[in-house]
Homo-oligomer: A and B are copies of this chain.
Amino acid sequence: MNPSQHVDRLIRKLETLAALSDEEKQALRGLPLTVKAFKADQDILREGDNPAECCLVLEGMVFRYLMLDDGRRQIMGFYIPGDIPDLQSLHITTMDHSVASLVPTTVAFIPHQSLNELNARHPTIANALWRDTIVDAAMFRLWMVGLGQKSAHERLAHVLCELLVRFKAVGLAEDEQTCAFPITQTELGDALGLTTVHVNRVIQDLRRDGLITLGRGSLCINDWERLRQRAKFNPLYLHLDGREARP
């Protein structure tokens, strides 16, 4: 991946949030990016940090999580290339959770100062970024609905639907029904509020019913419509606006 592709990833993501003029794209290309590689399972940001930059995912995959004192861990979201998982640090200085890599990952750090200057000069970009934090919040709300109201089967099906749709939205799905899935069953459990054992049993049910093929870092949804029904998945909350979200 060469440097100009780095910012293209960001532009492509922002274009899912707002239409950008050539001038605005040019301004984005002027952002100073510091690229850094992480191995799998490394913290990129930790609870309590006061970062002076935001991190844009270029390759790989990251997740946000909060660890409780007694070792319980809640994973709050998975992030794919083009996402800026700590955009909120622009406005709340202290991280109230951590961000870590799921697999070997490269990220680009963008100084808060550069982003603030960009926002001051280009309100469209500022609004697109604001919109991104708002869509983030919409995803949290929907995960809350899952954790509070849905069964283990519905929750698991939902996260599978969500990831395929999001990969497709940024053009990174392998094909119409297949995408990367480097998430272990333990991590899935921490995301869904379930134990590893139970996640395993539910996955086997989905496999047995012919809905998915899951393994070796890859997810294939063999029967989108039935999985969608089982998950009660409705992509409205992703606010992908017009960009069709149906595999």
Contact = CB atoms under 8 A, between A and B. Distances in A.
Interface of A: 64, 66, 68-69, 72-74, 76, 88, 90-94, 96-97, 112, 116, 119-120, 123, 126-127, 130-131, 133-138, 140-145, 147-150, 190-193, 232, 236-237, 239, 244-245, 247
Given A93-B245, A244-B93, A68 B134 contact: no
B74 A138 contact: no
A68 B155 CA distance: 14
A149 B145 CA distance: 14
Complex copy number for this chain: 2
Given A66-B142, A93-B244, 7 more contacts: A72-B149, A76-B145, A92-B135, A92-B245, A126-B126, A136-B137, A148-B190
B149 A148 contact: no
A76 to B, nearest CB: 5
B96 A138 contact: yes
Could you tell me the dominant secondary structure of chain A's interface residues?
Answer: helix
Contact of A138 (B72, B88, B123, B135): B88
Contact of A133 (B137, B147, B150): B137
Contacts of A237: 96
Contacts of A131: 91-92
A109 B245 CA distance: 19
B143 A144 contact: yes
Contacts of A150: 72
